[in-house]
Homo-oligomer: A and B are copies of this chain.
Protein backbone atom coordinates (compact mmCIF):
# COMPACT_ATOMS: atom_id res chain seq x y z
CA UNK A 1 0.00 0.00 0.00
CA UNK A 2 1.57 3.27 -1.12
CA UNK A 3 -1.63 5.35 -0.78
CA UNK A 4 -4.38 5.32 1.86
CA UNK A 5 -7.72 5.33 0.10
CA UNK A 6 -10.37 7.49 1.78
CA UNK A 7 -14.16 7.48 1.49
CA UNK A 8 -16.64 10.35 1.92
CA UNK A 9 -17.91 8.95 5.22
CA UNK A 10 -14.38 8.95 6.72
CA UNK A 11 -14.67 12.74 7.07
CA UNK A 12 -15.60 14.03 10.54
CA UNK A 13 -15.39 17.60 9.27
CA UNK A 14 -14.52 19.30 5.99
CA UNK A 15 -10.76 18.75 6.29
CA UNK A 16 -10.34 15.84 8.69
CA UNK A 17 -10.80 12.08 8.40
CA UNK A 18 -10.95 9.60 11.27
CA UNK A 19 -9.66 6.09 10.48
CA UNK A 20 -10.34 3.20 12.83
CA UNK A 21 -10.32 0.14 10.55
CA UNK A 22 -7.49 -1.71 8.74
CA UNK A 23 -6.06 1.63 7.65
CA UNK A 24 -5.59 2.70 11.29
CA UNK A 25 -3.73 -0.57 11.93
CA UNK A 26 -1.67 -0.04 8.77
CA UNK A 27 -0.61 3.43 9.93
CA UNK A 28 0.51 2.07 13.30
CA UNK A 29 1.94 -1.35 12.46
CA UNK A 30 3.29 -1.07 8.93
CA UNK A 31 4.01 2.60 8.33
CA UNK A 32 4.90 3.11 12.03
CA UNK A 33 3.84 6.71 11.66
CA UNK A 34 3.68 9.34 14.40
CA UNK A 35 1.79 12.59 14.91
CA UNK A 36 2.94 15.16 12.35
CA UNK A 37 3.85 12.62 9.65
CA UNK A 38 2.38 13.21 6.22
CA UNK A 39 0.98 10.24 4.35
CA UNK A 40 -0.08 9.90 0.73
CA UNK A 41 -3.87 9.72 0.53
CA UNK A 42 -6.59 9.77 -2.11
CA UNK A 43 -10.36 10.18 -2.00
CA UNK A 44 -12.21 7.42 -3.83
CA UNK A 45 -13.00 8.53 -7.41
CA UNK A 46 -11.47 11.95 -6.64
CA UNK A 47 -8.05 13.57 -6.26
CA UNK A 48 -4.94 12.48 -4.38
CA UNK A 49 -2.88 14.44 -1.84
CA UNK A 50 -1.52 14.37 1.67
CA UNK A 51 -2.86 13.48 5.10
CA UNK A 52 -1.08 14.96 8.10
CA UNK A 53 -1.53 12.93 11.27
CA UNK A 54 -3.21 15.11 13.91
CA UNK A 55 -4.07 12.43 16.48
CA UNK A 56 -2.91 8.84 16.77
CA UNK A 57 -4.03 6.50 19.54
CA UNK A 58 -5.01 2.87 19.97
CA UNK A 59 -8.55 3.53 18.71
CA UNK A 60 -8.20 5.83 15.74
CA UNK A 61 -6.05 8.14 13.64
CA UNK A 62 -7.20 11.64 12.67
CA UNK A 63 -5.62 13.07 9.54
CA UNK A 64 -5.87 16.57 8.06
CA UNK A 65 -6.43 16.11 4.36
CA UNK A 66 -5.19 18.20 1.44
CA UNK A 67 -6.14 16.91 -2.01
CA UNK A 68 -3.98 18.76 -4.51
CA UNK A 69 -3.14 16.40 -7.39
CA UNK A 70 -4.93 14.36 -10.01
CA UNK A 71 -5.08 10.60 -9.92
CA UNK A 72 -2.85 9.02 -12.59
CA UNK A 73 -4.36 8.73 -16.07
CA UNK A 74 -6.53 5.68 -16.62
CA UNK A 75 -5.78 3.46 -19.60
CA UNK A 76 -8.26 3.97 -22.44
CA UNK A 77 -9.14 0.32 -22.56
CA UNK A 78 -11.85 -2.24 -22.04
CA UNK A 79 -10.23 -5.51 -20.97
CA UNK A 80 -12.34 -8.56 -21.83
CA UNK A 81 -10.84 -11.59 -20.13
CA UNK A 82 -11.79 -15.25 -20.20
CA UNK A 83 -12.36 -16.06 -16.53
CA UNK A 84 -8.99 -17.19 -15.07
CA UNK A 85 -8.58 -19.97 -12.52
CA UNK A 86 -9.86 -18.74 -9.15
CA UNK A 87 -6.43 -19.25 -7.57
CA UNK A 88 -4.92 -16.53 -9.78
CA UNK A 89 -7.97 -14.27 -10.13
CA UNK A 90 -7.22 -12.19 -7.04
CA UNK A 91 -3.76 -11.37 -8.28
CA UNK A 92 -5.07 -10.58 -11.76
CA UNK A 93 -7.73 -8.19 -10.47
CA UNK A 94 -5.11 -6.40 -8.37
CA UNK A 95 -2.76 -6.22 -11.36
CA UNK A 96 -5.43 -4.85 -13.73
CA UNK A 97 -6.43 -2.25 -11.16
CA UNK A 98 -2.82 -1.17 -10.52
CA UNK A 99 -2.18 -0.83 -14.26
CA UNK A 100 -5.06 1.66 -14.60
CA UNK A 101 -7.71 -0.51 -16.28
CA UNK A 102 -11.19 0.81 -15.42
CA UNK A 103 -13.46 -1.57 -17.35
CA UNK A 104 -13.00 -5.30 -16.83
CA UNK A 105 -15.31 -7.86 -18.42
CA UNK A 106 -14.95 -11.47 -17.26
CA UNK A 107 -16.43 -13.86 -19.81
CA UNK A 108 -16.93 -17.56 -20.33
CA UNK A 109 -15.10 -19.49 -23.03
CA UNK A 110 -14.94 -23.12 -24.09
CA UNK A 111 -11.66 -23.70 -22.20
CA UNK A 112 -12.90 -22.09 -18.96
CA UNK A 113 -14.09 -24.71 -16.48
CA UNK A 114 -17.74 -24.07 -15.60
CA UNK A 115 -16.98 -24.59 -11.90
CA UNK A 116 -14.82 -21.43 -11.87
CA UNK A 117 -18.02 -19.37 -12.00
CA UNK A 118 -19.03 -20.73 -8.59
CA UNK A 119 -15.84 -19.66 -6.84
CA UNK A 120 -16.21 -17.40 -3.79
CA UNK A 121 -13.38 -15.33 -5.29
CA UNK A 122 -16.02 -13.85 -7.62
CA UNK A 123 -18.08 -12.45 -4.75
CA UNK A 124 -18.56 -8.70 -4.96
CA UNK A 125 -16.85 -7.93 -1.66
CA UNK A 126 -13.72 -9.90 -2.57
CA UNK A 127 -13.51 -8.41 -6.06
CA UNK A 128 -13.79 -4.93 -4.57
CA UNK A 129 -11.02 -5.64 -2.05
CA UNK A 130 -8.60 -6.71 -4.78
CA UNK A 131 -9.41 -3.67 -6.90
CA UNK A 132 -8.81 -1.38 -3.91
CA UNK A 133 -5.46 -3.05 -3.18
CA UNK A 134 -4.52 -2.33 -6.80
CA UNK A 135 -5.53 1.33 -6.50
CA UNK A 136 -3.62 1.74 -3.23
CA UNK A 137 -0.57 0.10 -4.84
CA UNK A 138 -0.60 2.45 -7.86
CA UNK A 139 -1.60 5.68 -6.02
CA UNK A 140 -4.86 5.73 -7.92
CA UNK A 141 -8.40 6.52 -6.70
CA UNK A 142 -10.68 5.74 -9.64
CA UNK A 143 -12.55 2.51 -8.88
CA UNK A 144 -12.60 0.00 -11.78
CA UNK A 145 -15.82 -1.73 -12.78
CA UNK A 146 -15.96 -5.53 -13.13
CA UNK A 147 -18.80 -7.08 -15.12
CA UNK A 148 -19.29 -10.84 -15.51
CA UNK A 149 -20.83 -12.72 -18.44
CA UNK A 150 -21.01 -16.48 -17.89
CA UNK A 151 -22.08 -17.19 -21.49
CA UNK A 152 -19.72 -16.57 -24.42
CA UNK A 153 -22.09 -16.45 -27.37
CA UNK A 154 -24.66 -14.12 -25.85
CA UNK A 155 -21.83 -11.87 -24.60
CA UNK A 156 -20.42 -11.51 -28.11
CA UNK A 157 -23.77 -11.13 -29.84
CA UNK A 158 -25.66 -9.00 -27.35
CA UNK A 159 -23.09 -7.05 -25.30
CA UNK A 160 -19.81 -6.75 -27.18
CA UNK A 161 -21.08 -4.48 -29.99
CA UNK A 162 -21.95 -1.74 -27.48
CA UNK A 163 -18.72 -2.26 -25.49
CA UNK A 164 -16.41 -2.05 -28.53
CA UNK A 165 -18.31 0.80 -30.22
CA UNK A 166 -15.91 3.66 -31.10
CA UNK A 167 -12.90 1.59 -30.05
CA UNK A 168 -10.25 -0.51 -31.78
CA UNK A 169 -11.23 -4.09 -30.96
CA UNK A 170 -8.48 -6.72 -30.80
CA UNK A 171 -8.26 -10.32 -29.65
CA UNK A 172 -4.88 -11.70 -28.60
CA UNK A 173 -4.38 -14.86 -30.70
CA UNK A 174 -0.92 -16.39 -31.17
CA UNK A 175 -1.56 -17.76 -34.65
CA UNK A 176 -2.73 -14.57 -36.32
CA UNK A 177 -0.94 -12.73 -39.13
CA UNK A 178 -1.21 -9.20 -37.81
CA UNK A 179 1.21 -8.06 -35.12
CA UNK A 180 -0.18 -6.35 -32.02
CA UNK A 181 -0.08 -2.55 -32.48
CA UNK A 182 1.66 -0.27 -29.97
CA UNK A 183 1.46 3.18 -28.37
CA UNK A 184 -2.27 3.48 -29.00
CA UNK A 185 -3.94 6.77 -28.09
CA UNK A 186 -7.47 5.77 -29.03
CA UNK A 187 -9.98 3.82 -26.94
CA UNK A 188 -9.22 0.11 -27.33
CA UNK A 189 -11.01 -3.14 -26.50
CA UNK A 190 -8.59 -6.02 -25.92
CA UNK A 191 -9.94 -9.55 -25.58
CA UNK A 192 -7.72 -12.11 -23.84
CA UNK A 193 -8.45 -15.83 -23.92
CA UNK A 194 -8.05 -18.58 -21.35
CA UNK A 195 -5.01 -20.85 -20.91
CA UNK A 196 -4.89 -22.84 -24.12
CA UNK A 197 -6.53 -19.98 -26.03
CA UNK A 198 -9.93 -19.46 -27.60
CA UNK A 199 -11.24 -22.28 -29.81
CA UNK A 200 -11.53 -21.60 -33.58
CA UNK A 201 -15.32 -21.12 -33.37
CA UNK A 202 -14.84 -18.39 -30.79
CA UNK A 203 -12.21 -16.56 -32.84
CA UNK A 204 -14.47 -16.79 -35.90
CA UNK A 205 -17.43 -15.38 -33.99
CA UNK A 206 -15.31 -12.49 -32.68
CA UNK A 207 -14.02 -11.77 -36.20
CA UNK A 208 -17.58 -11.79 -37.52
CA UNK A 209 -18.35 -9.00 -35.05
CA UNK A 210 -15.37 -6.94 -36.21
CA UNK A 211 -12.69 -7.95 -33.71
CA UNK A 212 -9.21 -8.27 -35.21
CA UNK A 213 -6.92 -11.12 -34.08
CA UNK A 214 -3.36 -9.98 -33.30
CA UNK A 215 -0.25 -11.83 -32.18
CA UNK A 216 2.33 -10.56 -29.73
CA UNK A 217 4.91 -13.22 -28.88
CA UNK A 218 5.60 -16.84 -29.79
CA UNK A 219 6.06 -17.58 -26.08
CA UNK A 220 3.19 -19.07 -24.10
CA UNK A 221 2.87 -16.88 -21.01
CA UNK A 222 0.77 -17.22 -17.89
CA UNK A 223 -2.21 -14.87 -18.06
CA UNK A 224 -0.90 -12.89 -15.06
CA UNK A 225 2.30 -12.22 -17.06
CA UNK A 226 0.57 -11.74 -20.40
CA UNK A 227 -1.73 -8.97 -19.10
CA UNK A 228 1.05 -6.52 -18.17
CA UNK A 229 2.95 -7.50 -21.34
CA UNK A 230 0.09 -6.69 -23.71
CA UNK A 231 -1.13 -3.57 -21.88
CA UNK A 232 2.43 -2.23 -21.90
CA UNK A 233 2.74 -3.01 -25.62
CA UNK A 234 -0.58 -1.34 -26.43
CA UNK A 235 -0.27 1.81 -24.33
CA UNK A 236 3.17 2.43 -22.75
| A residues whose Cβ falls under 8 Å from a Cβ of B | 2, 72-73, 95, 98-100, 137-140, 180, 182-183, 216-222, 225-226, 228-233, 236
Q: Which residues of B contact A99 (CB under 8 A)?
A: 219, 221, 225, 229
| Known contacts A182-B182, A232-B233; is-contact A95 B225 (Cβ 8 Å) | yes
Main secondary structure of the interface of A (DSSP, over half): loop
Can you name the residue of chain B whose Cβ is closest to the Cβ of A136?
A: B220
Contact assessment for A219 and B72 in the assembled complex, using a CB-CB cutoff below 8 Å: yes
Chain B's nearest CB lies how many Å from the CB of A223? 11
When all copies of this chain in the complex are counted, the total is 2
CB–CB B230/A138 < 8 A:
no
Q: B182 near A138 (CB under 8 angstroms)? A: no
Chain B residue, CB-CB nearest to A3: B220
User: How far does the alpha carbon of A236 sit from the alpha carbon of B229 in the complex, in Å?
Assistant: 8
Contact A138 B220, beta carbon cutoff 8 Å: yes
- Complex Cα distance A3/B68, Å? 52
